[in-house]
């Protein structure tokens, strides 16, 4: 019997008086990879931000339970410290803070333990090699002057180093060329194990060719309209979302 | 969204205030009698006594500046200009009295000396209480001593340079300084001598309602080089304290001087400090400045590039919190061909604090083929803080490369959210952004000072999430 990790129940979310999510239900177990697909503006990114309780998104109803605990109204950093991670569509630039120092600081905050510097650096180096990231980037300011693809790879690097229980990848594959998508997929494979789970938010299916996906959810106009296997994604790639639109 | 309460800060070690335990404190206010009394107390030679009295006349003849922050609350009749601590100048740390020693111990001064400095001076209120320098530098002819000793022992060098770079007519507070100056450091580096580890002076003002008027005179002779570090702090009292120091730097042909400062005054201090460098042919002066604390600061270090090929770089940061008005900047005068200046100024303001970058770039008619690049960047941590840039650019020939860039930024909610999603609290996130913003400055400082600066930033940002 698989163990439940995330349970989103009847979630309603507004941004600036506009109703975006209209009753989302989503259950994920440990060891699973889920995909949320949907047309632009359907509420995919809102779902990710709502799970992470971004103050810019107001919850109008419903609950989010993570690892047996209600996290609906916890602060973002408290949610992160419980093992939730999100790869951002547009990662922020932090001038003057190197990738190494940033991750060391974040790792310390997430684990609550001092970071062993040699072990940490070795681990960082290993993951950077796996993701084909130029080793010089370890000392560069976080995301400053990084190309779109480099920023996305850096998000995956952060996921590997911080080792969360649950990772949301928001459009991580968008705007990437085939090689970068392959590298990102490799990062996800490296991360994935029987104890954690991944939620991939995307509107194309390229990345799904490289990963073993358990469920695909189709989100249209703030609601999950259908759920299926990886086959559903291939069907949508051919047919589009037309038939799900109200 | 939860608000961060950044108001209550703990200046911990900087606010240790010792009992006002002085040996001699001059009457408050300014009269020729008081100046003569200071001069007598200090055992000045005749020329210095006359110099002080002349400076007082100039002081009385000059008006307060009509621009910049309002300093009308300053009442010179309430400020004691000379406070002599109960001790004699010592070259052994053990001989410094305990209360004074403890203060400097907590500020990390003797530790810094042991680790990485060529020499150290420590001034407490008006007098230098400790001075030492490594033996090998003495052998090379380097002079590093307190200013009073220099006046007595090196009269020719001092007379030739003292308040020639910064004349008493410059402005009212320089004139005041000329009248009441006390303490400070004198450095002479002979021709061709490279001092490769830094010298450091630390100024500590303990006594309430008093002023600190230290005079720093540095001469780096032809082809020589030096890194000088200056640190300043004071505990907080309810009454206004005044700091009107004066720094004169002579960087002769082919010489190099780096002048690093961390000023961390208490938040009732008026910091009206004057710093100027005269730079010779193919010589270079670099300023690295961190300005923290003080209620009002008016501080505009200046480089006068007199020699062909002279260079200067200014790297500075100011941090203003509630009730603080930091009016800082940099002035450069290009007086010769092929001179260059590079300015990288940053400011941070929060809780209604105000930072102004006020600058002057003057490129003379004869300064052909010169270059001046100014970049200033400010970061505001909330909507009630103020940041301003007031540049004056006076370019008098066409064959120059000149640029002035100004950027004003705020910390966005998106950035905070991004960092919080990595487990950082809102406070940690803000502190990280601010430290990163300050990094181009802190990396120019010696490591102990970079650490001190980061600690100061953390102190300024400390507070509970409300």
Can you give B80-140 as a three-state secondary structure string?
ECCEEECCCCECCHHHCCHHHHHHHHHCCHHHHHHHHCCEEEEEECCEEEEEEECHHHHHC
Q: Do B420 and A81 touch (CB under 8 A)?
A: no
Same domain, B313 and B460: no
Nearest C-alpha of chain B: how many angstroms from A92?
6
| Gap between the Cα atoms of B132 and B120, Å rounded | 5
| Gap between the Cα atoms of B121 and B119, Å rounded | 7
| Gap between the Cα atoms of A54 and A16, Å rounded | 13
Same domain, B402 and B369: yes
Q: What residue in A sits closest to B412 (Cα-Cα)?
A: A92
CATH of the domain at A187: 3.40.50.300
For A78-100, write each residue's pLDDT tens digit: 999 999 999 999 999 999 999 99
| Gap between the Cα atoms of B153 and B272, Å rounded | 29
Angle at the Cα of B189 (from B184 to B193), degrees rounded to 5? 150
| Gap between the Cα atoms of B242 and B79, Å rounded | 8
Per-residue pLDDT, A33: 96
By DSSP bridging, strand B127-133 and strand B119-124 are antiparallel
What residues 397-416 of chain B have any CB closer than 8 A to a CB of chain A? 412-415
Same domain, B425 and B438: yes
For B416-448, write each residue's pLDDT tens digit: 999 999 999 998 999 999 999 999 888 887 776
Asked if the C-beta of A144 comes within 8 angstroms of chain B's C-beta atoms, the answer is: no
| Gap between the Cα atoms of B154 and A204, Å rounded | 80
Tell if the pTM clears 0.95, that is, is over it: no
Torsion of CA B26, B28, B30, B34, to 10 degrees: -30
A79 has which bridge partners?
A: none
Q: What residue in A sits closest to B415 (Cα-Cα)?
A: A92
Q: Do A105 and B439 touch (CB under 8 A)?
A: no
pLDDT (average), residues B168-183: 93
| Gap between the Cα atoms of B319 and B324, Å rounded | 9
- Report the number of distinct structural domains present in chain B: 2
pLDDT (average), residues B29-35: 88
Q: Do A96 and B2 touch (CB under 8 A)?
A: no
Asked if the C-beta of B418 comes within 8 angstroms of chain A's C-beta atoms, the answer is: yes
Which of B412, B415, B422 faces A158 most closely, judged by CB atoms? B422
Q: What 3-state class would DSSP assign to B78? A: helix
Per-residue pLDDT, B5: 35
Domain range enclosing A130 = 4-244
Which residue would you say has higher pLDDT here, B10 or B442? B442
Same domain, B289 and B252: yes
DSSP B217-277: EEEE-TT-EEEEEEEEE----SS-EEE--EEEEEE-TT-EEEEEEEEEE-TTEEE--EEEE
Which of A32-46, A229-243, B42-56, B268-282 is the least confident region?
Answer: A229-243
Per-residue pLDDT, A175: 84
Nearest C-alpha of chain A: how many angstroms from B357?
21
Contact residues for B24 (Cβ-Cβ < 8 A; gap 6+): B41, B82, B83, B84
Same domain, B381 and B286: yes
For A161-181, write each residue's pLDDT tens digit: 999 999 999 999 888 888 889
Same domain, B437 and B380: no
pLDDT (average), residues A186-190: 95
- The answer to whether the beta carbons of residues A153 and A119 sit under 8 Å apart is no
A226 has which bridge partners?
A: A218
Same domain, B276 and B144: yes
* Residue B8 within any structural domain of the chain: no
Contact residues for B98 (Cβ-Cβ < 8 A; gap 6+): none
| Gap between the Cα atoms of B156 and B162, Å rounded | 10
| Gap between the Cα atoms of B181 and B52, Å rounded | 8
Same domain, B336 and B433: no
Provide, as residue numbers in chain B, all residues whose Cβ is less than 8 Å from the Cβ of A81.
423
Per-residue pLDDT, B8: 34
Same domain, B259 and B338: yes
Would you tell me how many other CB atoms lie within 10 Å of the CB of residue B73? 10
pLDDT-above-90 percentage for chain B: 53
Least Cα distance to A174 among A43, A37, A49 occurs for A37
- Report the number of distinct structural domains present in chain A: 1
Q: What residue in B sits closest to A158 (Cα-Cα)?
A: B422
Same domain, B451 and B367: no
pLDDT (average), residues B400-413: 92
Strands in B340-349's sheet, in edge-to-edge order, are B127-133, B119-124, B199-204, B225-233, B256-265, B284-293, B311-320, B340-349, B370-380, B400-410
Same domain, B362 and B462: no
For B350-396, write each residue's pLDDT tens digit: 999 999 999 999 999 999 999 999 999 999 988 899 999 999 999 99
Confidence band for B135, pLDDT divided at 50, 70 and 90: confident
CA-to-CA dists, residue B83 to B41, B352, B429, angstroms: 11, 34, 44
Domain range enclosing B438 = 417-466
Asked if the C-beta of B437 comes within 8 angstroms of chain A's C-beta atoms, the answer is: yes
* Residue B10 within any structural domain of the chain: no
Asked if the C-beta of B3 comes within 8 angstroms of chain A's C-beta atoms, the answer is: no
pLDDT (average), residues B284-308: 94
Same domain, B387 and B429: no
Asked if the C-beta of A168 comes within 8 angstroms of chain B's C-beta atoms, the answer is: no
Provide, as residue numbers in chain A, all residues whose Cβ is less than 8 Å from the Cβ of B437.
95-96
């Amino acid at each position: 019997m698989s163990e439940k990790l995330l349970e989103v129940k009847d979630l309603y979310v507004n941004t600036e008086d506009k109703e975006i999510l209209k009753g989302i239900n989503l259950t994920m177990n440990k060891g699973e990879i889920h995909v949320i697909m949907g047309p632009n503006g359907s509420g995919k990114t809102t779902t990710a931000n709502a799970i992470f309780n971004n103050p810019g998104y107001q919850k109008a109803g419903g609950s989010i339970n993570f690892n047996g605990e209600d996290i609906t109204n916890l602060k973002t950093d408290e949610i992160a410290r419980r093992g939730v991670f999100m790869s951002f569509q547009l990662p922020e630039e932090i001038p003057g803070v190197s990738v190494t120092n940033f991750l060391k600081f974040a790792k310390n905050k997430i684990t609550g333990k001092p970071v062993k510097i040699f072990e940490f650096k070795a681990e960082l180096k290993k993951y950077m090699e796996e993701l084909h990231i130029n080793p010089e980037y370890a000392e560069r300011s976080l995301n400053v002057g990084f190309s779109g693809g480099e920023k996305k790879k850096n998000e995956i690097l952060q996921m590997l180093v911080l080792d969360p229980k649950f990772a949301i990848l928001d459009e991580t594959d968008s705007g990437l060329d085939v090689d970068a998508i392959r590298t990102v997929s490799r990062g996800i494979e490296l991360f994935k194990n029987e104890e954690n789970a991944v939620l991939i938010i995307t509107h194309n299916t390229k990345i799904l060719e490289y990963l073993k996906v358990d469920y695909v959810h189709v989100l249209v106009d703030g609601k999950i309209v259908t759920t299926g296997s990886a086959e559903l994604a291939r069907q949508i790639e051919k047919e589009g979302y037309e038939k799900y639109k109200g | 969204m939860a608000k961060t309460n950044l108001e209550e800060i703990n200046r911990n070690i900087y606010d240790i205030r010792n009992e006002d335990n002085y040996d001699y404190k001059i009457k408050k206010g300014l009269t020729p009698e008081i100046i003569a009394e200071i001069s007598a107390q200090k055992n000045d030679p005749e020329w210095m006594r006359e110099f002080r009295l002349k400076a007082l006349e100039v002081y009385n003849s000059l008006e307060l500046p009509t621009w910049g922050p309002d300093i009308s609350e300053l009442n010179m009749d309430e400020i004691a200009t000379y406070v002599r601590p109960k001790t004699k100048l010592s070259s052994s740390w053990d001989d410094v009295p305990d209360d004074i020693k403890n203060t400097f111990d907590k500020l990390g001064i003797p530790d810094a000396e042991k680790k990485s400095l060529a020499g150290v001076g420590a001034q407490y209120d008006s007098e230098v209480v400790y001075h030492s320098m490594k033996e090998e530098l003495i052998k090379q002819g380097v002079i590093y001593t307190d200013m009073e000793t220099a006046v007595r022992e090196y009269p020719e060098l001092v007379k030739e340079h003292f308040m020639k770079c910064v004349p008493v007519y410059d402005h009212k507070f320089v004139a005041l300084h000329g009248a009441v100056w006390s303490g400070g450091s004198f450095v002479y580096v002979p021709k061709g001598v490279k001092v490769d580890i830094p010298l450091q002076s630390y100024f500590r003002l303990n006594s309430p309602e008093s002023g600190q008027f230290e005079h720093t005179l540095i001469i780096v002779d032809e082809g020589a080089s030096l890194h000088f570090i200056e640190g300043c702090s004071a505990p907080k009292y309810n009454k206004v304290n005044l700091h009107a120091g004066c720094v004169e730097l002579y960087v002769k042909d082919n010489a190099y001087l780096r002048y690093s400062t961390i000023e961390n005054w208490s938040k009732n201090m008026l910091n009206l400090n004057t710093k100027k460098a005269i730079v010779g042919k193919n010589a270079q002066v670099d300023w690295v400045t961190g300005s923290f604390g003080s209620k009002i600061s008016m501080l505009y270090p200046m480089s006068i590039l007199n020699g062909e090929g002279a260079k200067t770089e200014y790297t500075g940061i100011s941090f203003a919190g509630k009730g603080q008005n930091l009016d800082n900047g940099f002035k450069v005068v290009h007086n010769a061909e092929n001179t260059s200046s590079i300015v990288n100024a940053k400011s941070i303001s929060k809780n209604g604090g105000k930072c102004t970058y006020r600058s002057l770039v003057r490129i003379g008619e004869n300064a052909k083929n010169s270059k001046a690049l100014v970049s200033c960047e400010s970061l505001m941590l909330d909507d009630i803080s103020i940041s301003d840039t007031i540049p004056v650019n006076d370019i008098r020939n066409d064959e120059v490369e000149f640029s002035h860039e100004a950027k004003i930024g705020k910390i966005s909610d998106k950035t905070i959210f991004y960092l919080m999603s990595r487990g950082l609290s809102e406070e940690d996130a803000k502190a990280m952004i601010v430290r990163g913003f300050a990094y181009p400055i802190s990396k120019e400082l010696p490591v102990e000072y970079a650490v001190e600066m980061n600690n100061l930033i953390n102190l300024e940002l400390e507070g509970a999430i409300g």
